[in-house]
Structure 1
């Protein structure tokens, strides 16, 4: 192979700019190893070196994905060819692809988080990562994890300015069989969205793991039957082109040593190690004698089979033993974690008790109360503490109920989006979408749902046109009466479901009312207790006054003690007022959240009623589809 730095016709080279190499290029093992360098992100090895095994490559590794500017047909073809056999396709009742994996299951979700966390820590994830982050991730955490995983496939990849459009598109290019909507990218950490995105990240992680374990030499240069123990000819030519192009990029113009090496390798492959017909005959005789000796040896197959059965049985026993050890390990780890949590809790309680004892000892040393008074005050304080803990438990229960209702609202939103998609699909089948369709007559029948900024006026804009279309189809009503009755029964069932939801709301309202009454009773009890403490304080002040009259202490000392008592009284009174204000704010905030939640549920019920009416109208339109003439 010979090249010159400039062609005779003066044509400029389309290859990358070459760097003139001042020194000679070593022969033999002078190939470039640019493909097996280590990446600079967290000390991890690039997928190019992991896939290539020990084979060197020239230049930077190319992306495993098709480029963005390819045609949509080639994109779809590549996506179909790269479907993973581990992700089967099932379809829901509306024809949409349904993920068969139990992503929302708690055990499956924890397993996915554990696998993802182990892989990120193993490959040197450069940011702070733990199980808590993966349980409730932010958008920033999700983008960092996706950028890290995708950088194994596309080196130096960074998330663009519009990740909500870019990331679903990349998953589609990789052949991910389940859709990821743009709305999912705006609520990544929500309970009804994160399991879906966690399943997508697990899919991407498995692709990267597979890439690390693929032997590219076996894929690019598969051995043939006629090549017993030699290098394939295609690999010899590939290595020759690779080394020659690397030398060309480094400024070399002559490649005699590469030509000689290629000729030597081809001659060796064709004629044998020493070359020549006589040598081949000699080698054939030697191999024939070795084959005869091997055939005359006693058959070891029976012995090897028995040994194989023994090893297989031992392997099964060890596997069962390892499984039992793993179960014991998990149980002990769980127990250790529980003991650590209990130890931390008891340590914190112990420290709090020590601090309280110090404080109480200081108060006891500085006061002149009797032990009975101190015990009575402590009992009153413990009673108040128990009341506060009871109120906090009630507030936590209410917050858990609010969280459950938010999950239910997310499910209702998904159902509403599915209904709208079903309506748009059927409207498309009836040639009502887009406005330029045959039966649309320039009107926009498409239903768009946006929970943040309102939707199209279905009652005032779309429904009259559909009613007018229904009037044109009245001639066929009697033929579809039987089917209409069946659909009305379905509508009754939906109405019963809505009624059940209304009853549930009534139960929640009554429960909220009872909680408010209980909180009010506890508040009154607290006020009575505070009044009791105030009376005791007044009695103490009276005793102090009486003691000041009867004692022989000086007036200045008595005034100083009285000031200290007044100061203590003001501190306790201020603490009581702060607690009272905090409890009132908490009660007001809980009531406000429940009222807002009730209004939200009522809005979604109204929206659900509207969806039922739209589905009924769409059903009538599907059943009584008009036959338009050219005049229409």
Structure 2
């Protein structure tokens, strides 16, 4: 468990960590003497509202010291000081600590409760809580578990704190002293683990841990008295001094004087002259006039924008038309290439046919035969074909006869082999010698092979004769057919060549005409678009350039103003936070002094009572 650095701290009294235990009079021996810009506690009351004997009075509540005006220092700075007379301290102090806000946190939300439980468990584990803690324990804790957890957490604020047995009366007083924003009734701690009271108690523990973490992270000495106070001129110092002066102002005139003095100091610190402010204001007015003049040209601007959009649409249409023309030209070029390839193929075929014709004419010339001889050859070929057909029919008949004989021989050989097998089986059954066995397989096989060889030889000779006859006849017929077909194809190809040449010429003429038309249209469109673009550029130069410059200047000035505003708001926020922290330190010091004075008063009363008792005893002894 960590030990607090608070010195002579009492239960229920809060002090910032790492602070000195001696009274904050800036004159102790352990500290360097330093000028304070804060009024001492009770100084204003002594000068303005002092009692008849020149000492501060406690409130009418007897032993309870209520906070003085210094407690509400940060709150009073949030609103302008009133020009009317101030209320008495008792009237102000009677309202302190009685205002309680409504609970705004979602304490019944399961996610909020889970987050609070995680935070409490993390705090307990990190700071060395010696008792076992579980998540189930923090969901429905007992009074003992809650007392141990609260005592462990609060000891980080007061290391000598010891929880009483009836903590339901003590904890609300502690929370009120800590200025807990929500009022916690006594009944919340009587049934601490019940479902309707535990969420608010859990949120209170979460808030207490947040206060401890903030007090650990905050160095009050460095915040209350930074090193910048030692400099002669510092904007933060000027702001603090002005806030203190405003706090002590009574009338509206004093407030205006403080504001005027603060403005002069800021101008002197920022090195800004009134002439510069006037010049900037005049420049802003001039820019606003120019903006108003430019806004009057909205109709002309709208018309130019419409023309510009129309020109852009025309350019898009022209570009689309050009793309279509290019695609059409590409298709035509592809067709021309295809036609050229077809023409090349026809020309190559035509050349091949011419070569074949020349070769055939040469062969015809080399034959040296007359027409009668050719006719005789044709007749002889026809007769040979008839004889060949007859021979083919005869060969087919012979083949069928041979096949039939072969089938009969095969069947006979099969029956013979079966009989031989039966005979050999009987010989083996009678257990006779091998000489009695019969065989005819070898002779039959030799006969079969010889017959096959003879038939194959005859068939090959017959096929060769037929082939020679057919080859001669077919060669003659093919030559005649080829000659006739060559002549016809030659005539057809010559006609196709003439047609293709005329078509190719016509396509080339169309292509040239189309290219010329496209080029002329493209040039006209480009010239027209260039004219439109030049007109648009001139219009932009004449009307938009000045407007763009002014708009840019206005945007820059707006950004500068926003930056200055953000800086001013940030500085105001930091100043208010600083003053609130200073107020907290002063309040703690005042509470400590009040308690010390109460203690001193009790001691004095005790001493006076003892003296009175001694005097009474002495008088009684004298009387005796």
TM bucket, shorter chain: under 0.3
Task: Please report the TM-score for the alignment, with normalisation by the length of structure 2.
Answer: 0.24
Larger-Rg structure = 2
Q: Which has the higher helix share?
A: 2
Relative contact order, higher structure (CA 8 A, sep 6+):
2
Task: Please report the TM-score for the alignment, with normalisation by the length of structure 1.
Answer: 0.24
